[in-house]
Chains A and B, each alone.
Chain A
Amino acid sequence: MELNKDQTVMSEDNNKPQDPNPRLAWEGCSVLLDVNDGDRLVFARLSGGAILKIGNKNYSLKPLIGAPFGSLFQVESGEDGSFLSRILPIKKENDHNNVMDDSRDNRELVDNNEAQNLTGEEIEAMRREGAKGDEIIEALIANSKTFDKKFQLSQEKYKLKKQKKYAPKLLLRRPFSRSICEAYFKKYPARIGFLRVDALSLLLTMANITAYSDVLVVDMVGGLVTGAVAERLGGTGYVCSTYKGSSPYPVEMVRMFNFSDKVIERIVQASVTELSSAKTESPEENNQQGVSNTENNINEIATSDSMVEDVSVTAEVRVVDNVVPERKIIKAPKAGAKASKEIIDMWRENGFSSLIIAAQDQDPWSFVKDALPLLSYSAPFAIYHQYLQPLATCMHKLQQEKMAINLQITEPWLREYQVLPSRSHPHMQMSSFGGYVLSGIRISTT
């Protein structure tokens, strides 16, 4: 293990926020921090003053700036208190111990709280003297009466438990739709409508999202779907987040993706009425529509602006859990500008190439009947819902009205496995529900 204090001062040359796939964290970028192997997932925006609380201590996130994504940090204590320091992994030897030959078991373990000789005060004293986490763990093992009697596997478990407490590790990760979805699903599933990562991946696949697509989305899951689509478009095509009424649905989650300006420009918003209005070609009506639209525009811009502000504050407090933002927050560029008249006209002419609907607590049919006619023929669509019945009804209506073919309702099922020598099995706990997806292809009714 090696201390890398120099890591904090990295040359500016390595900062490439406009790179579509940057490999180093830069000042102002959004990061996902994985504490103790997935025990806790925290979103943060890196700035000199950003702070993360682990246990009962605050740690500056400054050492993370300029470090490559995927690097591992550990808590160290020095003269100026505790800080995060990058650790380089030691090449592990493949130890082929046959665990099944271990005949030790727990028959002699008595849970009387007398196994540990070190007292809390003694441990605290070691820390004050600047002992490393690993040293404390070794001392704990040396002073444990029962450690040697433990089965080899429970010895490993013991070490891991103590490591998490005395030498917490932090993994610096790039936020991708995968990790953002997983983090939210773990922590605030209701906010993303219980949309699990496998269901999200199905939506993107079934709607055939690819570069140069014009994707229509109804995103009532905080911007997760909009962001995931924009990630697949990579600064080409458009993702248009549509809405009923006068105010767009919030897409604050887009801020966590580290999108370049080029990608952000391709995320736009327009109401269902604006998108479908010109289908009726009467000029008078259009004029009226135009006037009311401009009024709407002003209102919407105002509301959407203030909304983004609101969310950024609450997000930093709630979502970016435990991270105290610096006075000057480095703002990510805003997504979700108003779709220009020219683009809307283009969509009216050519139709959208895909549609994704993730409308929480709404009847999907109410969106489908307005949104589906905006698609070009042969365009695929995917509709997410956390309840089955509204999708079943919606599918039935689509069949009756002969608006779509290849209709199917699917529910993804995802199970994770523990894979260890002679100890492989599914995880004891699993998510039993990730949502339903109705997919199909729009057809010409004539």
Chain B
Amino acid sequence: MAARLARYVKAPCETKKKKKRKAKTLLRFYSFVWSDLFLTNIITQTLIVSSAKFLASLLNFPLTKAVPQSISGSVNLKMLPTESKKALSFKRYIEDGDLVIVYERHDVMKPVKVSKDAVLQNRFGVYKHSDWIGKPLGAKVFSNKGKFVYLLAPTPELWTLVLSHRTQILYIADISFVVMYLEVVPGCVVLESGTGSGSLSTSLARAVAPTGHVYSFDFHEQRAVSAREDFEKTGISSLVTVEVRDIQGEGFPEKLSGLADSVFLDLPQPWLAVPSAAKMLKQDGVLCSFSPCIEQVQRTCEVLRSDFIDIRTFEVLLRTYEVKEVKVDTSSMADQSLEEDDGGLRPCKRKHRSNEEDDTVSHDKSSNATSSVVMARPCSEARGHTGYLTFARLQCLA
């Protein structure tokens, strides 16, 4: 039992994941270096796309092919409620057309659109979607071999774990911190570039709902299309607009000038976009720039100093703990020495004797000499760096 639990918690530190992370970090660094050499966007983009594909294959990552591609019909279960009836607490039973997250293990999940004639196949057997309809969310469902998975309502966090990685994505620690530090509340207008895989966009959409809006920009046509499809799938497309635009080159569109409560930049050369971001922001609005390299941060901060105040750079990471139930010997040292002194034997002999006793005497003692204790310790491997987050507040000039 204890060992099983330990595995359960320990898995985030798998080496496979590490490999993927390393590769992705490298990728991001490359994209920075390349674009800094003023190579054309196209080269950078091909690099990113081909690497992403390579990474996906390396990881055997469940790409969207598991999801029925027909996204024409309206999605019933929305990730974010835009009206009170759509809130999770009102939507308890699975219907045809819902998007659910199929949960095998904490590191094996898959987004699936429920379709009454479809089946889901995994190493545990075949699951009929028709069995799922009418079940409450959070229910166990069984395969033809009697193995079960859980069906969960999609949330931005689960989505971040299952979405297809077209680029390096932001993870929960950075996402949470960014949303809080950008002071995003319902009704806010937030600009973001680039869209990437849409991991942060989803969380920003959650924070501005129901009346605010996220305008997301990416210079990569195909990536923008895929992001739009994803937002359609998760039912948040009314909250996020994705446009194809090179923000470093052209800046944000004039029509959004002075309307943004917050701006988020995840670009290889963010300093090029800062003047435009300043134009978009309302007074006292907050900007955040995410960069993996300190040199990028350095250049960004130099530019920020002319229009922004309260410039602060952070790094935020998570340490995960594994929890285990351990049997420990609680007999005191005094007990043992008393007993052993009786025999008056040499040290090596003593050891031998106590081993023999294990089979006989300790049976009686076991009830009070050992007990189960729940213990926790940090996982031995963790993500060591994602990026630096630089925040700044637009100066009030009027």
Contact = CB atoms under 8 A, between A and B. Distances in A.
Nearest to A442: B138
Contact of A408 (B150, B320, B325): B320
A359 B374 CA distance: 21
A314 interface: no
B54 interface: no
A413 B321 CA distance: 13
B89 A352 contact: yes
Nearest to A388: B376
Interface centre among A212, A236, A406, A417, by most chain B C-beta atoms within 10 angstroms, is A212
Interface residues of A, number: 82
Contact of B284 (A69, A210, A409): A69
A37 B298 CA distance: 20
Contact of B316 (A206, A376, A412, A436): A412
A256 interface: no
Contacts of A399: 5, 8
A212 B91 CA distance: 12
Nearest to B393: A70
A20 to B, nearest CB: 5
Nearest to A393: B374
A396 B206 contact: no
Contacts of B188: 21
Contacts of B320: 408-411
A178 B176 CA distance: 11
Contacts of B381: none
Contacts of A389: 374, 376
A444 B138 contact: yes
A82 B396 CA distance: 24
B209 A210 contact: yes
Contacts, number: 249
A206 B375 CA distance: 23
Interface residues of B, number: 87
Interface in B103-157: 103, 106, 136-140, 150-153, 155-157
Interface string B83-113: 1101111101000000000010010000000
Interface stretch (B31-39, B59-67, B177-185): B177-185
B186 A380 contact: no
A37 to B, nearest CB: 8
Contact of B318 (A88, A353, A393, A410): A410
Contacts of A70: 283-284, 309, 393-396
Interface string B294-326: 100110011101100111111111111101010
Interface of A: 20-21, 23, 68-72, 88-89, 91-92, 94, 171, 174, 176-178, 197-198, 200-202, 204-206, 208, 210-214, 231-237, 347, 350-353, 376-380, 388-389, 391-393, 395-396, 399, 405-421, 424, 426, 436, 441-444, 446
Given A174-B284, A233-B186, 16 more contacts: A20-B185, A23-B282, A68-B284, A71-B396, A89-B309, A171-B309, A178-B180, A204-B179, A205-B156, A213-B88, A231-B185, A234-B187, A351-B92, A410-B320, A415-B314, A419-B311
- Give the 9 A-B CB pairs with smallest separation, nearest first: A377-B138, A234-B186, A70-B284, A378-B138, A201-B180, A378-B137, A392-B376, A201-B176, A205-B176
